[in-house]
Copies of this chain bind each other. A is one copy, B any other.
Amino acid sequence: MTITITAFERSPDGGKGLARDTRVRWALEEAGLPYEVRLVSFKAMKESAHLALHPFGQIPTYEEGGLVLFETGSIVLHIAQHHAGLLPAETQARARAITWMFAALNTVEPPILEFANARLLESDRPWSKERLPLVVDRVRARLKQLAARLGDAGWLDGAFSAGDLMMVSVLLRLRPSGILDEFPTLAAYVARGETRPAYRRAFAAQLAVNTGKAPD
C-alpha cells in the first residue's frame, strides 16, 4: 500500500530539516518504508481539501490506503507500531519509549514553541528584549532536567527508539539559537541522531525539495 505524506512546497526554514515532515521522513527511513510526497502551498494548506486531511491546516499528513492521519506524534507512532526499527519488542520497554515520545511533544516542545513564538511573532514588540530571557529560562529548565536523566547514555532508554527520534527532532529546533550548546551532552545526543543513516536520508530528501536539487 502506497504511503503518501504531505510537506511544504516551500519550507519556512528553507530546508534546514526543521519542518515537521522531516520527523515523519526519518521514521519512514528507519523502518525502511518507501513513500511518496505531495507538496502543499501555504495557500492550499488552508483550503478545504487539505483541511479535510488536517483540521489544523498544517503539514505533514499521512495517507495509506483509506487511512488518513495527522500529527507527527501519531504518524510516527503508527509507523513504529506496525514496522520494526523504532520500538522495542518487550512490552514495558515499548511503553517507556512511547513515554519519551509524549515527553518530547508535551513537556519539552511547548516551551520551545513559546520561544519560537517570542522570536517569530513578537520580535517587533516593545517587550521583546526584556521578555526573551524569561522564555529562554523556561526552555533551559527543561533541558537541565532532560540532561540529568540522559546522563552519559547514548539514548534515553536503552537502544534508539521513536522516543529518541522525537526528542532529537524537538531539540533540533533550538540549535540555531545556541541554547542547545549550553548543554553539551544534549548537543552530542542530537548530533548522534543526525548521524544515523536514516536521518541523513530524510534530511537530504527534504533539502532537495527546498533547493530543487535531487538528493545525492
Which A residues are within 8 Å of any B CB, using their own CB? 51, 55-58, 66-74, 77-78, 92, 95-96, 98-99, 101-103, 105-107, 109-110, 113-114, 117, 121-122, 125-127, 130-131, 134, 138, 142, 145-146, 148-149
When A and B form their complex, which 5 residue pairs have the shortest distance between CB atoms, in order from nearest?
Answer: A127-B127, A55-B149, A73-B102, A74-B99, A71-B102
A145 & B56 in contact (Cβ 8 Å cutoff): yes
Cβ contact within 8 Å between A56 and B142: yes
- Which residue in chain B gives the minimum CB-CB distance to A75? B99
Q: Which residues of B contact A74 (CB under 8 A)?
A: 95, 98-99, 101-103
For this complex, 19 residue pairs linking A to B, each with C-beta atoms less than 8 Å apart, are A51-B145, A55-B103, A57-B145, A67-B92, A67-B96, A69-B96, A69-B99, A71-B103, A72-B102, A73-B102, A74-B95, A78-B98, A106-B106, A106-B109, A109-B110, A110-B113, A125-B127, A127-B130, A127-B131
A155 to chain B, nearest CB (A): 14
Main secondary structure of the interface of A (DSSP, over half): helix
In this complex, the member of A95, A103, A131, A145 whose beta carbon has the largest number of chain B beta carbons within 10 angstroms is A95
User: In the complex, which of the residues B106, B109, B122, B134 contacts A73, with contact meaning CB atoms closer than 8 Å?
Assistant: B106
Q: Are A107 and B67 in contact (CB under 8 A)?
A: no
Contacts of A98 in B (CB 8 A): 74, 77-78
- Determine the distance from Cα of A98 to Cα of B62 in the docked complex, in whole angstroms: 14
Tell me how far the C-beta of A83 lies from the nearest C-beta in chain B, rounded to whole angstroms. Answer: 14
Q: Do the beta carbons of B56 and A103 come within 8 Å of each other?
A: yes
User: Which B-chain residue is minimally distant from A92 (CB atoms)?
Assistant: B67
